[in-house]
Structure 1
Amino acid sequence: MKTTTLLSLLIVAALAACGDKAPPSDAAASGPSATAPVPEPAPAPAPVAPPAPTAAAAPAPSAAELAAGEKIYTAACVSCHGAAVMGAPKLGDKPSWTPRIAKGIDVLYANATNGLNLMPPRGGNAALKDEEIKSVVDFMVSKGR
């Protein structure tokens, strides 16, 4: 126990000896360099947030497109996205959809078309056209905002 205490005190003393020390008071008055003001560092530039996806990049889907997407969702997608099966984001679950929507609509279209993780390409329905995939993605995104 005494060895541990002594060793601890020696380590503390050694670390204290390594710290910055103020110059002696007579050295401060001895030369012009001691009285020269220290320039302040320039302020760091403010962080710049990445631009948010703009609405101009993709026009808002029409009511007819959303209705077509809902019809396809009901026929082909609800079995997984209705109950969040195997990690599928549940329709209307904003916390699940927010990070996905933040990646941009084109990423969502590509994931739905090509498949992602356990979701097969085109949601398992190879007969769906690109426009149909986009309409169902638009419908699902409209419910996830």
Structure 2
Amino acid sequence: MRAALVLTLAALSLAACGEKIPPAPTPEQALLLKPADARLAELYETSCKACHAMQDTGAPLVQDRAAWDPRWKQGEAALLDHTIQGFKAMPASGQCVACAPSDFQGLIRFMAGREDPA
């Protein structure tokens, strides 16, 4: 019995290593996505959505893990800095004058499909 439990736990641990990336949302789905938090949803609608929910803007599409994962690997601090300072075509603060750093962190996590900070 104990050996079966150990084998099951080992198999689950190995399965977690091969994390499957969910498929990117379709353009139609991307337009409908929004953060669950009401404040973040409002900020997203008025600042982020114009670029991150539209294809061909050059911005990574909301919750497109294939596009966001390389950016995510840079670390949240780098993404926050890029958001606040501006980066390439991204305007400083994403043109969100009402956003605090904690708002940006929540918005980045939402858009990157990483709402769980782990």
CA distance in 1, matches of 2:53, 2:115: 12
Corresponding residue number in structure 1 for 2:113:
142
Displacement of 1:85 in angstroms is: 4.4
Corresponding residue number in structure 2 for 1:76:
47
Corresponding residue number in structure 2 for 1:92:
63
Residue number among 67, 81, 85 corresponding to 1:114 in the alignment? 85
Residue number among 82, 86, 102 corresponding to 2:73 in the alignment? 102
The change in CA–CA distance for 1:108 and 1:133 in structure 2 (over 3 A counts) is same
TM-score normalised by L of structure 2: 0.58
> Contact 2:40–2:107 at 8 Å: present in 1 too?
yes
The change in CA–CA distance for 1:113 and 1:85 in structure 2 (over 3 A counts) is farther
> Contact 2:65–2:113 at 8 Å: present in 1 too?
no
State the identity %: 25
When Rg is computed on C-alpha atoms for both structures, the one with the higher figure is 1
Map of 1:1-145 to 2, 5 A cutoff? 67=37, 68-142=39-113
CA distance in 2, matches of 1:85, 1:128: 25
Kindly report the root-mean-square deviation, in angstroms, between the aligned alpha carbons of the 2 structures. 2.5
Which consecutive segments of 4 or more residues in structure 1 shift more than 3 A? none
The change in CA–CA distance for 1:66 and 1:103 in structure 2 (over 3 A counts) is farther
Runs of 5+ in structure 1 lacking a partner? 1-64
Displacement of 1:66 in angstroms is: 5.7
CA distance in 2, matches of 1:71, 1:126: 13
Displacement of 1:95 in angstroms is: 1.3
Displacement of 1:135 in angstroms is: 1.8
TM-score normalised by L of structure 1: 0.48
